[in-house]
Amino acid sequence: MLEIAVPSDVAAELAAIGRFVAARGWVPATSGNFSRRIDEGHAAVTRSGVDKGNIRPQDVIAVPLSGPMPAGASAETPLHVARYRGDPGIGAIVHVHTVAATVLSRAGAAAGFLELEGFEMHKSLAGVTTHEGTLRLPIFANDQDTQGLAERIESALGAQEPVPGYLLAGHGLYAWGATMVDAQRHLEGLEFLLQCSLEERRRDR
Amino acid sequence: MLEIAVPSDVAAELAAIGRFVAARGWVPATSGNFSRRIDEGHAAVTRSGVDKGNIRPQDVIAVPLSGPMPAGASAETPLHVARYRGDPGIGAIVHVHTVAATVLSRAGAAAGFLELEGFEMHKSLAGVTTHEGTLRLPIFANDQDTQGLAERIESALGAQEPVPGYLLAGHGLYAWGATMVDAQRHLEGLEFLLQCSLEERRRDR
Amino acid sequence: MLEIAVPSDVAAELAAIGRFVAARGWVPATSGNFSRRIDEGHAAVTRSGVDKGNIRPQDVIAVPLSGPMPAGASAETPLHVARYRGDPGIGAIVHVHTVAATVLSRAGAAAGFLELEGFEMHKSLAGVTTHEGTLRLPIFANDQDTQGLAERIESALGAQEPVPGYLLAGHGLYAWGATMVDAQRHLEGLEFLLQCSLEERRRDR
Amino acid sequence: MLEIAVPSDVAAELAAIGRFVAARGWVPATSGNFSRRIDEGHAAVTRSGVDKGNIRPQDVIAVPLSGPMPAGASAETPLHVARYRGDPGIGAIVHVHTVAATVLSRAGAAAGFLELEGFEMHKSLAGVTTHEGTLRLPIFANDQDTQGLAERIESALGAQEPVPGYLLAGHGLYAWGATMVDAQRHLEGLEFLLQCSLEERRRDR
């Protein structure tokens, strides 16, 4: 398979979301990664170990959605690729490490999900038009074998995605959308819901 | 009814309050909205779904205070319009989604109000000259029928407004004032009181 | 008594401390005030109601350390003046409204003080050279009669000041120093100690 | 021993890390200090009492790794020097005062360590390739005799360093790395782990 270049507007979009989340402290210690679909067969993904608040063009790599990962790809690239393969409507994916996501993903790891009920912020998620009802955010066990982890996640998400994101236990939050604007809105909405849920659990325990 | 344009200074005021609250993380995921009275019959209101930290002139719409809502108006526009109709002294309204407002509005939904007692910050509210006494911040149940919700709110607020704001359960905080400067001061004062109250409830439970 | 003008470097110092504390959210809703001694008989004090993150020269007023307050002086000016009269070594005073100061001042109001023990941050206070020992931060009941309040405070502080600051219950934190640099360091040190103390009280209750 | 000058790129690196941590509020009241190895016999260390968000070239001093400290060196310089002597692989050291580090270091002082288990953020530490297993962050009693303290710390760290950092009880966090980039990543990773741990202790107590 021929390698393709990362379009400059795609690299610029990844740099912009990086500045946004880094300013909020959501990608400490070079953690987190971001991606955007380039075309039917490729996605652009940030390399590991780079400062996510200052992503340069060389910090982004084009990866094929099928076939082996190129050298230099982040260890979490399979999680991104599997989502693009699993849902053709996804155009962008963001992954962050926040305190709320980390702590709640550990607290809910045994249950395998976190329930969020009755928040107006539900409406920040594409297709949700009311605060009524319950959202169920999946939580998956963390695994350094990200290829196997990606397969288990895609199998579990199945045909239905209750929310455009999931938690990895002790690890962080993934969120996606049709565009980077949608992915960022979903990220902000889910993180806000996590912060509220964490605060309520402090009070209710 | 003839449509009117939004004066450029009004749009600039809405953009400025948007930058202020966005910098504090109070309008995540494009949530929140802001408005200002234009004249006796109209108000300028932000459209829904726009980045509140970067409000452009085209993101603000002029709406009539009586008669049907124009196409493109935010679903929460009726809550703004009803306040301008209910109190001719109101010149500006701000609505935000903060963690403290969301969590406390849920905790106090059954009671229907939140009591705040003995804070010097009471004096940030127009007409309050002492820390002594108790403020009662109303909490209304959330409802996607914002027209019906607006009517219930105005009926409840009645002749007396104990504080220049209210909470919507699981949703957020509304605050208003004679000018945008007053509305912003009331917003900051109420949010500070909510943060203190939330912290005290952590300790007292 | 002849009125005197506020020297421009004094106004600039007050504007700078204002930007510093406003950026941290410590003066919400135009709360807080700052002052600096001008000469043996006068101090410059911020007017009330101004945006403390954007203090302009006209937002600062020169007040005499004896005699009646000029028109336009903040209601809390007597608390500043009394400190300058009570301790000739004081060159600058800062007053802020933080969540930690407000909540802890209410929790400790009956005791009349807050004890801080064993923190390295003790050493940020002038004259303290060890983390060993206990600091006792006084807490005074709030009072809208600031002239009477100032007299009670000065009488209580007496000859000995255990720390360069005090709390007003439900109101906020005052801190001072020989220079504005010292006053700011004391403010930062005390606020850090209050945040640690609040966190420990959450855990220990 | 001849004095040597601090190379300008070293001073610039110390100024940069200072701006980074000051923006996060991790060096309040002029607390904290930073250093970098210059050569086999010297390190550059920030002077005490300077604003760590605005480190100027004259705020950095070159100190010998053996022999007496020069006049003007920070009282905590022996802690830096001992680390450079104890581990020739260390190129940079950062020391900060955060609420999480301060509170957890006091809570765990009797145990002498803080255990962190199962976080993906473990992988931010050099040489750690999995979230599985337990990290043990040492906690040492604070002591104003920093020379004696440094000797006790080096003796305890011994041949094995479970993590590239330690806590001083009631004082703060030290972190180091082969380069300043590594030291900063370790600092951010450890502080994130401390924040998560503090939040979990709030819930679990």
> How high is the mean pLDDT of chain D?
94
Q: Please report all neighbours of B, defined by 3+ CB atom pairs within 8 A.
A: A, C
Higher pLDDT: B81 or D205? It is B81
Closest C-alpha to A84, from A2, A168, A178, A162 = A178
Question: What is the token pair recorded at B62?
Answer: 């002029």
User: What b/e string do you get for D169-198 counting C-beta neighbours within 10 Å, with b at 16 or more?
Assistant: bbbbbbbbbeebbbbbbbbbbbbbbbbbbb
CA distance B4 to chain C (A): 33
Euclidean distance between CA atoms B71 and A148, whole angstroms: 49
Instruction: Report the gap between the CA of B26 and the closest CA in chain A (Å).
Output: 10
The predicted model gives C19-26 an average pLDDT of 97
Assign D162 a pLDDT band (cuts: 50, 70, 90): confident
Residue ranges of the alpha helices (H) in chain B? 8-23, 77-86, 99-107, 146-157, 180-204
Best A144, A173, A201, A202 member to test D by mutation, with max D CBs in 10 Å, is A144
Helix (H) or strand (E) holding B38: strand B33-39
Nearest to C131 among D30, D99, D171 (CB): D171
Give the torsion sign (CA, A45, A47, A51, A57).
negative
Q: Do B200 and C142 touch (CB under 8 A)?
A: no
Dist CA B149 CA B166 (whole Å): 13
Verify whether the Cβ–Cβ distance D168 to C120 is below 8 Å: yes
Interface probe with B: pick from A134, A186, A196, most Cβ of B within 10 Å: A196
D57-70 CB burial, b ≥16 within 10 A, e <16: eebbbbbbbeeebe
> How far, in Å, CA of A10 to CA of B15, rounded?
28
**CB pairs A-D closer than 8 Å:** 61
Nearest to residue C126, comparing CAs of C114, C135, C118?
A: C135
Sign of CA dihedral A180, A183, A185, A191: negative
Mutation site, C51, C104, C142, interface B, largest B CB count within 10 A: C142
> Residues of chain C whose C-beta is under 8 A from some C-beta in B?
25, 28-31, 97, 99, 102-103, 106-107, 142, 144, 168, 170-172, 198, 201-202, 205
Please tell me the distance from the alpha carbon of residue C1 to that of residue A110, in angstroms, as a whole number. Answer: 75
Q: Nearest C-alpha of chain C: how many angstroms from D101?
A: 10
Q: Do A120 and B28 touch (CB under 8 A)?
A: no
Residue length of chain B: 205
Residues of chain A contacting D202 with CB distance shorter than 8 Å: 202
Q: Rounded distance, CA B150 to CA B156, Å?
A: 10
Chain A interface residues facing chain B, Cβ-Cβ under 8 Å? 24, 118-121, 124, 129-132, 185-186, 188-189, 191-192, 195-196, 199-200, 202-203
Name which of B29, B99, B142 is nearest A131 (Cβ-Cβ). Answer: B142
Three-state secondary structure readout of chain A: CCCCCCCHHHHHHHHHHHHHHHHCCCCHHHCCEEEEEEECCEEEEECCCCCCCCCCHHHEEEEECCCCCCCCCCCCHHHHHHHHHHCCCCCEEEEECCHHHHHHHHHCCCCCEEEEECCHHHHHCCCCCCCCCEEEEEEECCCCCHHHHHHHHHHHHCCCCCCCEEEECCCEEEEEECCHHHHHHHHHHHHHHHHHHHHHHHHHC
- C-alpha distances in angstroms, C63 versus B1, B56, C41, C96, D59? 56, 44, 9, 20, 37
Compute chain B's Rg from CA coordinates.
Answer: 16
Asked whether C178 and C165 are in contact (CB, 8 A), the reply is: no
Minimal-distance CA residue of chain B relative to C107: B200
- Give dist(CA A32, CA A194) in Å, integer: 17
pLDDT at A2: 56
What CA–CA distance (Å, rounded) separates C41 from C34? Answer: 17
Kindly report, residue by residue over A151-176, the tens digit of the pLDDT: 999 999 986 777 999 999 999 999 99
Question: What is the residue whose two structure tokens read 């920030």?
Answer: D46
Residue A119 CA to residue D196 CA, distance in Å, equals 25
* Burial class of A1 by CB neighbour count within 10 A (0 to 12, 13 to 18, 19+): exposed
The pLDDT value recorded for residue B204 is 64
Q: Which residues of D touch C (CB under 8 A)?
A: 25, 28-31, 97, 99, 102-103, 106-107, 142, 144, 168, 170-172, 198, 201-202, 205
Note the pLDDT tens digit of each residue in C160-202: 777 999 999 999 999 999 999 999 999 999 999 999 999 999 8
Nearest partner of B42 among B13, B56, B62, judged by Cα: B62
Neighbouring chains of A at 3+ CB pairs within 8 Å? B, D
Chain C partners of D29 at a C-beta cutoff of 8 Å? 121, 124, 185-186, 188-189, 192
d(CA D112, CA D108) in angstroms, rounded, equals: 6
What interface predicted TM-score (ipTM) does this complex get?
0.96
Indicate if the pLDDT at residue D99 is higher than 60: yes
Using the CB atoms, write b or e for A82-96: b if 16+ within 10 Å. bbbeeeeebbbbbbb
Sheet holding B60-64, edge to edge: B60-64, B42-46, B33-39, B92-96, B172-177, B165-168, B134-140, B113-117
Other beta carbons less than 10 A from residue D19's beta carbon: 12
| 3-state class (DSSP) for residue B155 | helix
Q: Which of D174, D184, D187, D91 is nearest to D140 (CA)?
A: D174
CB contact under 8 A, D202 and C202: yes
The SS3 call for residue B124 is helix
User: How far C23 CA sits from the closest chain B CA (Å)?
Assistant: 10
pLDDT digits (tens, 9 = 90+) for B16-60: 999 999 999 999 999 999 999 999 999 999 998 999 999 999 999
Q: CB distance C170–B131 less than 8 Å?
A: yes
- Phi, psi of A31, deg, nearest 5: -75, 175
Cα angle, residue C85 at apex, residues C84 and C86 outer, rounded to 5°: 95
Residue C19 pLDDT:
98
Determine, for residues A185 and B30 on separate chains, whether the beta-carbon distance falls below 8 Å.
yes
B67: left (phi over 0), alpha (psi -120 to 50) or beta: left
Q: Give strand pairing partners of A37.
A: A43
The answer to whether the Cβ–Cβ distance between C97 and B195 falls below 8 Å is no
The dihedrals phi and psi of A117, each to the nearest 5 degrees, come to -135, 125
Size of interface B-C (CB pairs under 8 A): 60
**How far C168 CA sits from the closest chain B CA (Å)?**
9
At residue A150 the predicted structure's pLDDT band, cuts being 50, 70 and 90, is very high
- Which ranges in chain D belong to alpha helices (H)? 8-23, 77-86, 99-107, 146-157, 180-204
Q: For the segment B89-127, what is each residue's pLDDT rounded down to a tens digit?
A: 999 999 999 999 999 999 999 999 999 999 999 999 998
d(CA A95, CA A165): 9
Residue A175: phi and psi, rounded to 5, are -145, 150
Question: Residue C176 and residue C92: Cα distance in Å, rounded?
Answer: 6
Helix (H) or strand (E) holding C77: helix C77-86
Tell me the C-alpha distance between A45 and C61, whole Å.
57
Write the DSSP assignment of D52-79 as a string of letters.
Answer: TTS--GGGEEEEESSSPPPTT--TTHHH
**Is C130 within 8 Å of D144 when comparing Cβ atoms?**
yes
Tokens of B181: 């400067």
Neighbouring CB atoms inside 10 A of D111's CB total 10
The pTM assigned to this predicted structure is: 0.96
Q: Which residue's structure tokens are 């510093």?
A: C20
Q: Model confidence over A42-90: pLDDT tens digits?
A: 999 999 899 999 999 999 999 999 988 888 889 999 999 999 999 999 9
With CB atoms and an 8 Å threshold, state whether A106 touches D118: yes
Confidence check: pLDDT of D136 > 80: yes
Kindly list the residues of chain B whose beta carbon comes within 8 Å of any beta carbon in chain C: 24, 118-121, 124, 129-132, 185-186, 188-189, 191-192, 195-196, 199-200, 202-203
* The residue to which tokens 């003046």 are assigned: C81
Shortest CA gap B171–chain A (Å): 5
Confidence of residue B203 (pLDDT cuts 50, 70, 90): confident
Mean of all residue pLDDT scores within chain B:
94
For chain D, give the percent of residues with pLDDT over 90.
88
In whole angstroms, give the CA distance from residue A108 to residue A98: 15
Residue A204: what pLDDT?
A: 64
Nearest to B49 by CA among C75, A182, A18, D90: A182
> Cβ of A192 and B97 within 8 Å?
yes
Pairwise CB contact (< 8 Å): C29 & B120: no
Asked if pLDDT for residue C1 goes beyond 70, the answer is no
Q: How confident is the model at residue C158 (pLDDT cuts 50, 70, 90)?
A: confident
Instruction: Kindly report the nearest CA distance between residue B94 and chain A, in angstroms.
Output: 17
Q: What percent of chain A has pLDDT over 90?
A: 88
Which residues on chain D are in Cβ contact (under 8 Å) with C173? none
Q: Which H or E run includes D135?
A: strand D134-140
Q: Which of B94, B121, B193 best probes binding to C when mutated, by most C CB atoms within 10 angstroms?
A: B121
Residues in chain B within 8 Å Cβ distance of C170: 118-120, 131
- Percent of chain C residues past pLDDT 90, beyond the cut: 88
pLDDT at C2 exceeding the cut of 60: no
What per-residue confidence (pLDDT) applies to D142?
Answer: 97
D122's tokens: 């473990």
